[in-house]
Amino acid sequence: MIDLHYAPTPNGWKISIMLEELGVPYRVIPVDIRAGDQFKPEFLAISPNNRIPAIVDHAPADSGEPMSVFETGAILIYLAEKTGRLLPAEMRARSRVIQWVMWQMGGLGPMLGQHGHFLLYASEKIPYAIDRYRREAARLYGVLDTQLGKTGRFIAGDYSIADIACFPWTMTHKAQGFTLDDYPNVKRWYADVRARPQVQAGLAIGKFVKEPFSEDARRIMFGTGVAASAPAS
């Protein structure tokens, strides 16, 4: 059994999709990031960077004590290696997949995250920041489009953790003001991945909170991490 400490965000979806693709038993432990659950000692014990998601594997391959893993790239690789799926064994193919997972971790996710923050969530609209991150997000969409034009159906050849890493972040394209019509290879890939039943099941685990941010939630998520009305822990 794997415990998935989870909130329904692009990073959270990566791991719920991965677990659905693998068909391994798991249970969801919700982490209310608007209420500050990510700063609780019990969560920090498994995710010291106070970010979701994290997993605890109660049946690790070494038959030892339960093993926790944080950071989505590390979790995807861990689960792929545990099951022998969605990460090729052959050296070159494996390297290609891992390179694109790292590309998502270091580029696509952070840049779309920053663009989304300054465009949609920041209390002060800063034109320079919005333009800076929009241009970089557009560049990265272009990189992905070029790669998919070379490889065909999926990012690194066969469907893999590279696709699972990248797909949830491209789900934000409409909210961030992008159209996939500008990136025809991404548009085709996006439709193919989203149509997978396992992806749909992974996306169904929880929903975004639709209510406007309260000031305490904004302070927790984007400020010091402690709500004005909540005691520090």
Low-confidence residues of the chain, pLDDT below 50?
Answer: 224-233
Task: Single out the residue of 95, 20, 29 nearest to residue 68, CA to CA.
Answer: 29
pLDDT for res 219:
66
Q: Which residue has the tokens 């791991």?
A: 15
User: What pTM value is reported for the model?
Assistant: 0.90
Q: Are strands 2-6 and 26-30 parallel, antiparallel or unpaired?
A: parallel
DSSP per-residue letters across 110-169 = HHHHHHHIIIII-SS--HHHHHHHHHHHHHHHHHHHHHHHHHSSBTTBSS-HHHHHHHHH
pLDDT for res 226:
42
Residues 43-99 pLDDT 10s: 999 999 999 999 999 999 999 999 999 999 999 999 999 999 999 999 999 999 999
Q: How far is Cα 17 from Cα 170, in angstroms, rounded to an integer?
A: 14
pLDDT for res 225:
45
pLDDT for res 120:
94
Phi, psi of 88 (to 5 degrees): -60, 150
pLDDT for res 206:
77
